[in-house]
Amino acid sequence: MIELEHVTKIYRLGTFGRRALRAVDDVSFRVAQGRVVSLIGESGSGKTTIGKMILRLIPLTSGRILFEGNDISALSGRALKDYYRKVQGVFQDPFSSYNPIFKADRIFRILKTEFFPTVGPQQWDKRIREVLSTVGLVPEEVLGKYPHQLSGGQLQRFLIARALLLDIQFLVADEIISMLDASTRIDVLNLLAELRNNRGLSILFITHDLSLAHYLSDEAIILYRGSIMESGDIEKVFQRPLHPYTQILLSSVPRLDQKWEETEIRLKVQEGKRTAGCPYYDRCYLAEKGKICADLKPQLVEAEEQHFVACHRFREIPKEVKHAAGQTRGTSLA
Amino acid sequence: MNILEVRDLRVYYQTIKGEVKALDGATFSVAEGEIMGLAGESGCGKSTLGRSLVLLKPPMKYVDGKVFLEGEPLPIWDREKMNAFRFAKVSLIPQYAMNALNPTKKIKRIFADILASRGIRLKQVLSELNWRFELVELPLEVLKMYPIELSGGMKQRVVMVLSTLLNPSLLIADEVTSALDVSTQKAVAKMLVEFRDQRFVKALIVITHDISLLYQIADTILVMYAGKFAEKGGTEEIISDPKHPYTRLLISSLPKIGVRYMETKLRGIPGHPPSLLEPPGGCRFRERCPEAFEKCGEEPPFITLDSTGRQVACWLITGNHD
């Protein structure tokens, strides 16, 4: 459905753009119909940039993004509008998506003028009520209110409802629940899962939270400094993490069922200058052994079926480390 | 010995519409060497509690209650008198502390200025400072840098060293790890424990919405809901055997690694917290509580203490069944 081919984004920084920042570096992946793919990374890993490029909010530096086989950068006019009927995004801060001086349901009116000018007002009203019920809101409670009168969870559901009115096929969900409270966030996640199951919606779920990603998705992509470190079937990545970075991430997540292992985490200053070699070189515990890590950027290779890793030395990772990070059910490691 | 004792503390916010009862009766104590986690959702009053112990300024309004630090009354209602305690005896790392560093000053200047305000010269504490930087894995060159040259995690560690430099009795850390990446979060959280072990601080209150983080580092957990005390007890007991229905529902709504929608569907807590402008009488969790009964609407529950030291504010526990 959506396919990224060697997508790269370079931001120009400094006076006259003399410094270049590779926010996204040669990233390729695809999201098939009805799949939920999690894009997992720390801040600055390029995950939001990828989402924005898919939504055509920022241009690519090189590479291509295909939607149903067509390059989206070539779309314009009607074709672009059609694209937005099918592909929509919802973002982190629901409060900043609304103009506080207008009522929150104004987003539906704008949508109608843009996309559905011919639909009669009564029919439109009916559609809105239907879609609000789908996302778990009671129309009477939320329509006609200003953004400050609604909670973050309600506003976020409003935005999902807005996307659903367009009959979308692909949703970019960028950290959509990180600003919601623990007691309500799980309901928004469940809503996404239901939309996938009932409507066949494909979702790119951008997050830094590994447990949320695991709860919801079919596949995972682990990003570090703009490059994919590891990707594949969610169970395989979480049960048998192959990349040192994924292992550190998984062992750092605070959990309620087990205490932190005594793994050491490097906090040394990162040298931002490195251009050749592995992006994770500075923080990797395996890297010191060999020179290859410093000189050559590893390519993504298929380590097992549906499980890819970009690391020169993943076969040398000691067994017990793998186990410490990957154990969720304990027995799956051979 | 108890480092901190808080008795029925009430702090409201003055707004045009009236008083927001953000903290409406908190009673608890923190023992020497204890790391107390203070958990709850946004708007439950946890940050108000933390802030009022250090700098209580408008629109915050002291209403009632007493606070004792190492047995001495802490005059939190008097900003002038609190100057003697602030930073020296009780210190706060606020939320987004990393953005609190003055961008026009080098780190060394920031340290010197704050110390000067307490009549201390940087030279006097320099060797101690060096060793603490080493402990948190910050290179000494950081002192010559501007805040903009540091990463989020580094700034957070600078603020941690700064706020504990005079060995305060009590340190309050308000969401210090929530803006950090998971691996940095773990390192910073472990440093808080290290600060206690090194006796830089005698007791710690860690405020966060992330209960699983508290499970890793806290000795005890206090849960708040809508400005009220809900439950306090040992970390293991709170997690494995929550007594208050709110704690129980909150913990069961958290996705754990290994739990998937396809296999186990988790549920949130329906409804939302009440408005604190005119909070309902009785128990504030009543409307969302699946186990609420008549009594819950009539009177707010007392805090009761059981034999294991667990404190719970819920009519189900307090009894009156017979």
Query: pLDDT tens digits for A12-49?
Result: 877 777 778 889 999 999 999 999 999 998 878 889 99
Distance CA A137, CA A145 (A): 13
CA distance A334 to chain B (A): 18
Residue A176: per-residue pLDDT: 86
Domain housing B233: 2-318
Q: Quick check: B127 contacting A, CB < 8 Å? A: no
DSSP A272: T
Minimal Cα distance from B178: which residue of A? A178
Please report, for residues A47, A52, A232, A328, the alpha-carbon distance to residue A24 in angstroms, rounded to integers and kept in the order given.
8, 12, 19, 31
Distance CA A217, CA B274 (A): 33
What count of Cα atoms within 13 Å lies in the side-chain half-sphere of residue A178? Answer: 18
**Sequence-ordered strand ranges (E) for A139-226:** 170-174, 202-207, 219-224
Q: Quick check: A255 contacting B, CB < 8 Å? A: yes
Distance CA B156, CA B134 (A): 15
Distance CA A264, CA A321 (A): 12
Nearest Cα residue to B318 out of B297, B308, B303: B303
Minimal Cα distance from B149: which residue of A? A269
Minimal Cα distance from A185: which residue of B? B268
Residue ranges in chain A whose pLDDT is less than 70: 262-275, 288-290, 318-334
CA distance A112 to chain B (A): 30
- The angle at the Cα of B275, spanning B271 to B276, to the nearest 5 degrees, equals 135
- Find out whether A41 and A23 touch, Cβ atoms under 8 Å: no
Residue B11: per-residue pLDDT: 94
Nearest Cα residue to A43 out of B98, B256, B182, B160: B182
CB–CB of B210 and A257 under 8 A? no
Q: What is the dihedral of CA B309, B312, B313, B317, to 10 degrees?
A: -110
CA distance B135 to chain A (A): 12
- Rounded to 5 degrees, φ, ψ at B223 are -105, 135
Nearest by CB to A214, from B257, B267, B269: name it: B257
- Token readout for B260 is 């998937």
- Continuous H helices in B143-293: 152-164, 182-197, 211-217, 235-240, 245-252
Mutate to test the interface with B, among A235, A256, A260 (most CBs of B within 10 A): A256
Residue A59: per-residue pLDDT: 93
Instruction: Give every CB contact of residue A294 below 8 A, 6+ residues apart in sequence.
Output: A276, A277, A278, A281, A287
Nearest Cα residue to A244 out of A272, A274, A266, A270: A266
Q: Whole-prediction pTM value?
A: 0.84
CB–CB of A186 and B154 under 8 A? no
CB–CB of B256 and A211 under 8 A? yes
Residue A92: per-residue pLDDT: 83
First to last CA, chain B: 37
- Contacts within 8 Å (CB) and 24+ apart, B56-60: B56/B11, B56/B82, B58/B14, B59/B13, B59/B14, B59/B15, B60/B11, B60/B12, B60/B13
CB–CB of A265 and B183 under 8 A? yes
Number of domains in chain B: 1
Residue A329: per-residue pLDDT: 36
CB–CB of A43 and B267 under 8 A? no
Minimal Cα distance from B256: which residue of A? A211
Bond into B94 cis (ω within 30): no
Nearest by CB to A190, from B249, B254, B265: name it: B265
- Token readout for B221 is 């957990």
CB atoms within 10 A of CB B18: 11
Q: Quick check: A248 contacting B, CB < 8 Å? A: yes
Q: How many CB pairs under 8 A join A and B?
A: 121
Residue bearing tokens 């009673």: B27
- Find out whether A245 and A284 touch, Cβ atoms under 8 Å: yes
Residue A260: per-residue pLDDT: 82
CA distance B256 to chain A (A): 5
CB–CB of B41 and A182 under 8 A? yes
Nearest by CB to A183, from B152, B187, B253: name it: B253
What is the rounded average pLDDT for all residues in chain A? 85
Residue B322: per-residue pLDDT: 39
CB–CB of A252 and B153 under 8 A? no
Distance CA B79, CA B85 (A): 10
- Find out whether A41 and A48 touch, Cβ atoms under 8 Å: no
CB–CB of A208 and B181 under 8 A? yes
Nearest by CB to A253, from B182, B249, B253: name it: B182
Distance CA A283, CA A225 (A): 12
Residue A264: per-residue pLDDT: 57
Window 130-159 of B, Cβ < 8 Å to A: 137, 139, 151-154, 157
Residue ranges in chain B whose pLDDT is less than 50: 321-322
Distance CA A325, CA A316 (A): 15
Residue A330: per-residue pLDDT: 34
Q: Quick check: A331 contacting B, CB < 8 Å? A: no
- Find out whether A11 and A53 touch, Cβ atoms under 8 Å: no
Residue bearing tokens 């314009």: A76
Instruction: Give every CB contact of residue B65 below 8 A, 6+ residues apart in sequence.
Output: B6, B7, B8, B9, B10, B25, B26
CB–CB of A42 and B183 under 8 A? yes
Nearest Cα residue to B83 out of B121, B122, B120, B118: B118
Residue A148: per-residue pLDDT: 86
Please report, for residues A135, A156, B4, B229, the alpha-carbon distance to residue A193 in angstroms, rounded to integers and kept in the order given.
11, 15, 46, 35
Residue A321: per-residue pLDDT: 53
CB–CB of A254 and B268 under 8 A? no
The ipTM is 0.78
CB–CB of B266 and A186 under 8 A? yes
Window 38-67 of B, Cβ < 8 Å to A: 41-42
Element (H or E) spanning B64, and its range? strand B60-69
B154 CB neighbours in chain A (<8 A) are 267, 269
- Token readout for B149 is 């040259």
- Find out whether A294 and A276 touch, Cβ atoms under 8 Å: yes
Distance CA B136, CA B187 (A): 9
Q: Which residues of A249-259 are buried (b: 16+ CB within 10 A; e: fewer)?
A: bbbbbbbbeee
Report how many helices (DSSP H) and strands (DSSP E) chain A contains, helices first.
12, 12
Residue bearing tokens 């008549």: B294
CATH of the domain at B166: 3.40.50.300
- Rounded to 5 degrees, φ, ψ at A13 are -120, 165
Distance CA A206, CA A89 (A): 11
